[in-house]
Copies of this chain bind each other. A is one copy, B any other.
Amino acid sequence: MVPAELPEPVAGPGQVVFKLRAASLNFRDLLMVEGRYNPRQPLPLIPLSDGVGEVTAIGAGVSRVKVGDKIAGNFSQKWISGEPARAKLSASLGGPIDGMLAESRVLDQEGVVHVPEHLTDEEAATLPCAGLTAWNALINTGRLKPGEVVLLQGTGGVSIFALQFAKAAGARVIITSSSDEKLERTKALGADEVINYKTTAEWDKRAKELTAGVGADHIIEVGGAGTFNKSLRAIRIGGRISVIGNLSGNVTEVNLISILMQNICVQGMLVGNRDGFEAMNRAIALHRIRPVIDRVFSFDEAPEAFKYMSSGSHFGKICIRF
């Protein structure tokens, strides 16, 4: 990762130029800058999918935003609405197209959204990837109903957003962590039950107990290889496991019989479309939800921010202030 002097972007027809104010980091960005992201992205590349900025210029025909507006870019620039498809997923910020670790950026007006007014720039900058992924999994695709049970793994960005959205949607939340202190913090955010998976290694059994033997309605699977089979045991018949990330590795042995005999839906979950981003923002505004930020770095400290992320000790999001 090296700094570069780039020309000031210009707003073509339908385009929006904005000056970055804050950005946030995702695990995907870490893989990207370490060259471990698969598939490999073309270089050079401005990293970071998530950022918020102020509009400084608009091109001909732009009607969705005006100069001075606070906006964020949608992760998948061409996924505006509806179901995903290859073409709609071909233009993700931070790879393959340039991301937000820049002074100014230009995007198509269809690919940007206004951010909720009650949020700081750093808070707003956490929404595009982790926030929308959690929303897409639980609300847009998962259609969570009040009273349903959501099981969350750990206290990373997606899990904490999922906790906040699940509570806003009236669900009951069970969350795991290896740290009692972090679990206490999730309780303050509304978690109904917590499981320390270091002291309760069989968290799947504990989740079943907490649900009268039924299992969770919805699990946000962020662990991957290390947790997936436990998730298959913690879910209810007919339940849904949204596969978000693979923090503990990708390849695992799966007993397909577990999926079959329990009528489970294992749903791969990409970030989400722009319409979903706007729907999420409306809910965030109504509920005055504040994204949880672990630590804020300055623009020049970006390398330290990535290093901190790789330590894995954060609770919520890591941000960069411009």
Contacts and interface: CB of A to CB of B under 8 A. Distances in A.
Given A172-B286, A268-B265, A257 B38 contact: yes
A142 to B, nearest CB: 10
Contacts of A266: 259, 265-267
A188 interface: no
Interface in A237-257: 237-238, 243-246, 250-257
A146 B256 contact: no
Interface string A209-238: 000001000000100110010000000011
A236 to B, nearest CB: 8
A33 interface: no
Contacts of A246: 256-257, 260
A83 interface: yes
B80 A256 contact: no
- Give the number of copies in the complex: 4
Nearest to A254: B254
B253 A252 contact: yes
A82, A145, A172, A270: residue with the most chain B Cβ atoms closer than 10 Å: A145
Given A147-B283, A169-B169, A264 B254 contact: no
B257 A254 contact: no
Contacts of A83: 81, 238, 275
Contacts of A140: 145
A263 interface: yes
A303 interface: no
Contacts of A264: 267-268
A170 B172 contact: no
Most chain-B CB neighbours within 10 Å: which of A224, A225, A259?
A: A259
A225 B84 contact: no
A158 to B, nearest CB: 12
Contacts of A273: 81-82
Contacts of A279: 145, 147
A307 interface: no
Nearest to A39: B261
Contact of A85 (B237, B253, B283): B237
Contact of A139 (B146, B250, B275): B146
A44 interface: no
The 5 A-B pairs of least Cβ separation, nearest first, read A81-B82, A147-B283, A82-B82, A147-B282, A146-B283
29 contacts: A13-B13, A64-B87, A80-B81, A81-B83, A81-B273, A82-B82, A82-B273, A86-B214, A140-B145, A143-B143, A146-B169, A146-B283, A147-B280, A147-B285, A147-B286, A147-B287, A148-B282, A170-B283, A244-B260, A246-B260, A250-B257, A252-B253, A252-B254, A252-B256, A253-B254, A263-B267, A264-B268, A265-B265, A266-B266
Interface of A: 12-14, 38, 64, 80-89, 139-140, 143, 145-148, 165, 168-170, 172, 192, 214, 221, 224-225, 228, 237-238, 243-246, 250-270, 273, 275, 279-280, 282-287
